[in-house]
Structure 1
């Protein structure tokens, strides 16, 4: 797909406020004058990957609806904790953050002390998108699907290994979740990033991994990796012949990376309502849907209440996995 060429210094054109108000009276005219200046949308990861696509494409559409400008600011560090702590303290009412499975549902259980509170410091606004987690093996491994992989792992306990982008990463969680439900023993090899992990997986130095679809579809189609299952509840259009984990004997299984919009808890209710309405509508815009589909991401767009309940459910689910696997953050 063509990259969305927006940098920290390049504001996303929001369109004239008057045009937005005319087109969307329920969003642009209601609840006062907010926003009164450009909105900073913080992404707690380095540029690139699914987080970048979700943030930039949703920012473009939300800016149009809110009648302002919106710029994405990448601020990586400490598994997202640096950015989360900064935004939690922001009091300008024009700073938002991209929440993630890691920062919202996992970090509270793998760090002894967090510099932010998910429940107290943030307002959930909307679940924006989910990115399918794919379960992969090197093509030389003598398995064609998940059932064969599980059988092979049980016949060879501890002999298989899998890589991840680091302790507590989405890929680490995805494989530990699969190990838990399938009762298999596979050794974890943490890397510092998805790139080095994929290099070793394609070279045969790793047996398996779970990676977000956007990063690996090209390698699957080229035959460099074999996808044995998707973590989604339904098959994905990009890999229609690959069954889900649930289809292969584990009903109810779901593993996706997800991203949502949050604001500091001090954002006034009227502004939060306007923002939530814009986010929900933005995730249905054809241009955004095309961008996300090209990256194998699934648009959601939820209410604040639904997103809040979703976070609570995810925290309960991942606490069990973290405790069982004794996951600790990278030093």
Structure 2
């Protein structure tokens, strides 16, 4: 996957702040709905609520969270894409926000054409984690154990085609491992299952398993991305373990239905930059494993194109489908 340099990501919110204020005298004129494609308490929900609180102050009208979980995030994303009231936005993640149509050609929307990028709110690396009862302490031992115990390991994700699913599926294919994928409706559900030992393995957004890793409820083996996490400084990068993982992040994006006026999108992106650069918000999100961003629309659009180019061939080569 083409890397998005961290220094560019960090600089972009300030660029958004420097943009001239755009007149929005007539919008919104009533409450705005933000459809979140995952349940309350999930990482997209946390980021969405941080943005919504600022939007309400900036625009003078309520921004109401509407959690629409299911379909690995596609139900909420499609509801955003189909909204025509002019007062609906959406927050979703990579997968339903990027490569969902490649995964399922019968899907009722295409995120590349039917979702208008507004702002990349946050990103975080993926943590490759196991239940502590799995007798491995690093990636090499995991590969060896899975090879010696074909069919023994079940790995979870928030749905077929999610970044966590594809990261593990591609690793299994590369090493010739036989493991079973079990999709769940939400990140909290999948985390509950790995802590309970009903699944053995998952690659989850860092914020979702940070507390469990610190408490010893899961064992973090490695993380994706380009730098070690300050919150888990002893956990190596996947690249340090000899595995692909550079530039791979779970991410959370703010979207609008197609056709929202460009000046409105620009103002929303500008305010998202302000929301995510607020020191108190930043500290809260960073403690949860996020890298707060709040970028202009173009960067989220470029990220989507990058994911299509990276994951599309893998989906086709491994024949990953919604029921995978």
Does TM, normalized by the shorter one, top 0.5?
yes
Which shifted more, 184-193 or 128-137?
Answer: 184-193
Residue 40 of structure 1: which of 28, 33, 37 is its match? Answer: 33
Q: Which residue of 1 aligns with 2:179?
A: 187
Residue 277 of structure 1: which of 270, 284, 288 is its match? Answer: 270
Per the alignment, in what secondary structure is the counterpart of residue 96 of structure 2? helix
Q: Which residue of 2 aligns with 1:141?
A: 134
Q: Which residue of 2 aligns with 1:14?
A: none
Residue 209 of structure 1: which of 202, 209, 215 is its match? Answer: 202
Which shifted more, 124-133 or 85-94?
Answer: 85-94
Per the alignment, in what secondary structure is the counterpart of residue 129 of structure 2? strand
Structure label with greater radius of gyration: 1
Distance 2:74 2:146 in 1: 35
Q: Deviations over 1:56-103 (max 9, x none)?
A: 011112332334331111122333333333322323322111132121
Which shifted more, 267-276 or 74-83?
Answer: 74-83
1:294 is aligned to 2:279? no
Residue 267 of structure 1: which of 260, 267, 274 is its match? Answer: 260
Q: Which residue of 1 aligns with 2:53?
A: 60
Distance 1:195 1:84 in 2: 19
Are the aligned partners of 2:188 and 2:208 in contact in 1 as well (CA < 8 Å)?
no
Change (3 A) 1:219 1:276: closer
After TM superposition, the runs of 4+ consecutive aligned structure 1 residues lying more than 6 A away are none
Distance 1:202 1:85 in 2: 31
Distance 2:78 2:117 in 1: 15
Which shifted more, 264-273 or 154-163?
Answer: 154-163
- Quote the offset at 1:129 in angstroms: 0.7
1:243 is aligned to 2:252? no
Change (3 A) 1:313 1:76: same
Are the aligned partners of 1:61 and 1:285 in contact in 2 as well (CA < 8 Å)?
no
Are the aligned partners of 1:164 and 1:188 in contact in 2 as well (CA < 8 Å)?
no
State the TM-score, normalizing by the size of structure 1: 0.82
Are the aligned partners of 1:49 and 1:214 in contact in 2 as well (CA < 8 Å)?
no
Are the aligned partners of 2:95 and 2:161 in contact in 1 as well (CA < 8 Å)?
yes
Q: Deviations over 1:280-314 (max 9, x none)?
A: 22221112212212321111222211111110111
Q: Which residue of 2 aligns with 1:8?
A: none
Unaligned runs of 5+ in 1: 1-22
Are the aligned partners of 2:120 and 2:252 in contact in 1 as well (CA < 8 Å)?
yes
1:303 is aligned to 2:296? yes
1:226 is aligned to 2:227? no
- Quote the offset at 1:197 in angstroms: 4.3
Q: Which residue of 1 aligns with 2:20?
A: 26
Per the alignment, in what secondary structure is the counterpart of residue 102 of structure 1? coil
Residue 73 of structure 1: which of 42, 66, 90 is its match? Answer: 66
How many residue pairs match? The answer is 307
Q: Which residue of 1 aligns with 2:107?
A: 114
State the TM-score, normalizing by the size of structure 2: 0.84
Unaligned runs of 5+ in 2: 1-16
